[in-house]
Structure formats: C-alpha cells, structure tokens
Amino acid sequence: MKLKIALSVLIVFAILGCIAEFPKQKVTPTQAEFQYGIKYPAKVVYVYDGDTIKVKLDNKILVIRMLGIDTPEKYPNKNKPYEYDAITNLTYLAKWGIKAKNFTYKTLYGKKVYIEFDEIAGLKGYYGRYLAYIYIDGKDFNALLVEKGLARVYKEGKFRKENYYLQLERIARENKVGLWRIAE
C-alpha cells in the first residue's frame, strides 16, 4: 500500500513539474518581433559602405541597409551611368562612394545608434538586409547623407520619408553640394 501511495505521489509531482510555468526570459527581438515606428538602440560594429552597416542589437547582429537612400559604389565598375541622373563619369561616382563610406565610418563606427523600421518599406529588402532609418545623437543619419550630397534618394521603393528626402536632394542639387557639383 505504501508503495502505491509513493508511486501516486511521484506521478502527481511529475505531472505538476511538466505543467509548471517556467520563468520568462528576456528574448532578443526577431524579425517577427520588431515593431514599426520604434527606435531600437544598437551599436555599429561594421561599415560596409556609405549606406550599409552591421549593428549589434542585444546579442543579435543585423546587416542594415539605410532606408530610402543610395550612395555611389566604391568601385567604378559597380556604378552605372545615369543612376545619379546625368552623371556618367563612373570614376567620379566611385570617389564619392569612398567619401560616403568614410563619412559613415567616421560618424557611426563603434557608436550607439537607433534603428527604426518603416511599415511602408517592410523589414527587409531584396538582398535580405534589414531596411531602417539610422539615428545618431537624435539626427536622421540617412537624411544627413542626402543633405551632404553623399547619397541620392532611392526612388525604386516606397517609404514614409520619401517626400522629405526628395526635398533635401533637390536643395543639395540646386546648391551643387557633394556629388552634385558635377554639371548635370
């Protein structure tokens, strides 16, 4: 009889142990958990070029393509004539691609930034990179690249800040800032 009671108690504890709630742990955001309009703190750990960086968010590494902008490529053969409207000098564009990368590196590398996703653009682009606005010291870094003539507005996709960025690009072009110094 004592054996039956002991076995019954053991079975009850085993069942209770299986259904007991475990304490919740902090979870690093995954693609499904990111929300639009929230600025997530991250540290820039690598700069690929003027418009693509790698960040550490909690314990996750994300490759971020800056949303709404496009900087020239660093190599002439990677640029295309007329991609920056009338500019056809690919060596000229590559020089501005290097300047854009250097500016991004100097401004962002090793620093705390905030990344924000856009509900219109979605979380990821064609190449599987996250698409985000980057903020440093409260400033929109993507917009800063356009203002300084280091980037054009990426018109091939839709995003919330498109009209604002187009206005900044128009001003940079009119004032021949950055890569827009070349005659159009």
Q: What is the pLDDT of residues 96-142, one digit of tens each?
A: 999 999 999 999 999 999 999 999 999 999 899 999 999 999 999 99
Distance CA 91, CA 19 (A): 66
73 is catalytic: yes
Residue 181 carries which DSSP code? G
Tokens encoding 9: 């108690």
Burial of 19 (0-12, 13-18, 19+ CB in 10 A): exposed
- Among candidate residues 21, 33, 73, 181, the one labeled active-site is 73
Task: Check: CB of residue 54 under 8 Å from CB of residue 66.
Answer: no
129 is catalytic: yes
Distance CA 81, CA 103 (A): 23
With 90 as the cut, is the pLDDT of residue 6 above it?
Answer: no
- Among candidate residues 21, 33, 65, 119, the one labeled active-site is 65
pLDDT at 182: 83
User: What is the arithmetic mean of pLDDT over 41-50?
Assistant: 98
Distance CA 138, CA 45 (A): 19
With 80 as the cut, is the pLDDT of residue 184 above it?
Answer: no
Does domain 28-181 bear CATH number 2.40.50.90?
yes
83 is catalytic: no
Q: Output helix, strand, coil percentages for the chain, rounded to the nearest 5.
A: 35, 25, 40
Task: Check: CB of residue 132 under 8 Å from CB of residue 80.
Answer: no
Q: What is the DSSP string of 82-119?
A: TTBTTB--HHHHHHHHHHHHHHHHHHHTTSEEEEE-BT
- Among candidate residues 116, 129, 162, 169, the one labeled active-site is 129
